[in-house]
Structure 1
Amino acid sequence: MNIYIYSDESGVFDKKHNDIFVFGGIIILGNPEKLVLSRKYAKAEKDIRQSKNLPRDYELKATAISNGEKGKLFRSLNQYHKFGVIIEEKRVLDRIFESKKDKQRYLDYAYKIAVRRAFEDLIKQRLLIEEEVRNLYFFVDEHTTATNGCYELREGLEQEFKNGTYNWKYDTFFPPIFSKLESVQLTFCNSRNKLLVRSADIVANKIFYYAKQEDHEKLRSIKNLYVTYLP
């Protein structure tokens, strides 16, 4: 089985001016599910464009559409597995914000943890069988990530899910979740050209909205959503 993970972020990682930062996205289990979701989400976008007489190349990002339209797009994802991580920035150590590299390392860590915990929940519910997973394909909205940052995230994901990780402090090895995994691939892409990265934008926006409202009960009520809180 191939698993496809599409993700985006919401908020600014800067604790002086912001309280919340979010990664959000969608996890697709297998090629047939990806095909069905792509058709469904494309139809939802098409309906909105037609109702507003928008051109076909108009990007339906969460910041550019109404709450009702965001709701329509989000409902098209109801039966699919979604994940997110909410970072409460005021609780993050000050030293993390002292350099771009430390900030990026922390965000990479948060992203990996969110995806891993979502996978663990899916396995626990027997919605995913570890031994059947062969390839992981990550698609991340590109934003302004530097080339070396892209490489480090790709390497970190491969360690987390394919090779396993080692804690030098405690001399402990943590094996990967998927014992038969063959590859981990990461693509940074422009959401304008990637349909399902736009769906991840809608998920991230929804999580961010409820996190800002501190409406955690509402978040918990969302079907097929796995949310991690950090730190």
Structure 2
Amino acid sequence: MTEQTVIIYLDDSGVLDSNHPVKHFVYAGYIFISKDEKDYAKRRYISTIKNIRRSSGRVDELKAAKISIKSKRKLYQVMKPFHSIAAHVWTDKIYESILSNNLSKHRYKDYVVKMLVKKSLKNLIDKELIKSDDDINIILNVDEQPTSSDGFYGLRESIYEELKFGITNWDYGSVRPPLFTAEVKVSVHYFVSEHNYLGQSADIIANRIWVSYCHDDISLRQRDKHFLLTLP
């Protein structure tokens, strides 16, 4: 049996805080269904960065918050051949008890990431791009940030259990079945975007989707090969 490999890069945009005037929070990035596809995307992105630096004279990291709209558009367009994913959170619909506690807030972010990973993988299964009955190795790369410590599980363990065993909620009598029936491997890596080009690409799309909600402009987030999850 051939082992499938799925590689994901995610970054966030916005503020998960009830007191913030903008009520939108986003995780977004790209999901690759092979190492070769990931490497091809990286080469394309680096080539575009080099072109922008040559024309602008910049040598620093090209973050969405610090570059021109034209440059952001180029960095967004070069990734159009690849599958993108996003989770949008309406922060004014989250319980205040979650947002008022930093540890609970971090745990909720982990939950958003977990559900985005699961639903994105389910979307790939539905499109017959990956198989639910083959071994799978999932490599998740997330922009470096404080991690949850007030839950029973870390992010990696939580994702693994959701995908391999599903979740039974005894309080509500609900069951979420497992997504995969074969062997599941999950690894989680936290990157510093300055040293990670595909992490930078996640920053660009996360910012664009966040802006699309801030300006209520759906055209900014309409793209082929895109999966969107809305929470809560």
Partner of 2:133: 131
Relative to structure 1, the CA distance from residue 68 to residue 95 in structure 2 (aligned partners, 3 Å threshold; closer, same or farther) is: same
Shift of 1:49: 1.0
8 Å CA contact 1:162–1:184 kept in 2: the answer is no
8 Å CA contact 1:162–1:182 kept in 2: the answer is yes
Equivalent position amino acid for 2:6 in 1: I
8 Å CA contact 2:208–2:220 kept in 1: the answer is no
Partner of 2:71: 69
Partner of 1:193: 195
Structure 2's unaligned 5+ residue stretches are none
Q: Distance in 2 between matches of 1:185 and 1:27?
A: 14
8 Å CA contact 1:3–1:133 kept in 2: the answer is no
Q: How many residues align?
A: 227
Equivalent position amino acid for 2:52 in 1: I
8 Å CA contact 1:26–1:81 kept in 2: the answer is yes
Equivalent position amino acid for 1:225 in 2: H
Shift of 1:176: 2.5
Partner of 2:107: 105
Equivalent position amino acid for 1:33 in 2: E
Q: Distance in 2 between matches of 1:43 and 1:180?
A: 38
TM norm structure 1? 0.90
Deviations 1:9-54 (Å, cap 9, x if unpaired)?
0011111113111101100111110111111111111111111122
Moved more, 106-115 or 58-67: 106-115
Q: Distance in 1 between matches of 2:134 and 2:80?
A: 24
Partner of 1:122: 124
Structure 1's unaligned 5+ residue stretches are none
Relative to structure 1, the CA distance from residue 100 to residue 147 in structure 2 (aligned partners, 3 Å threshold; closer, same or farther) is: closer
Alignment of 1:41 onto 2:45? yes
Deviations 1:110-156 (Å, cap 9, x if unpaired)?
2211222222222222222223452000111103x147479721221
Alignment partner of 1:131: what SS?
coil
Q: Which has the higher helix share?
A: 1
TM norm structure 2? 0.90
Alignment partner of 1:7: what SS?
strand
* Alignment RMSD: 1.9
Relative to structure 1, the CA distance from residue 149 to residue 77 in structure 2 (aligned partners, 3 Å threshold; closer, same or farther) is: farther
8 Å CA contact 2:106–2:148 kept in 1: the answer is no
Moved more, 159-168 or 10-19: 159-168
Relative to structure 1, the CA distance from residue 36 to residue 132 in structure 2 (aligned partners, 3 Å threshold; closer, same or farther) is: farther
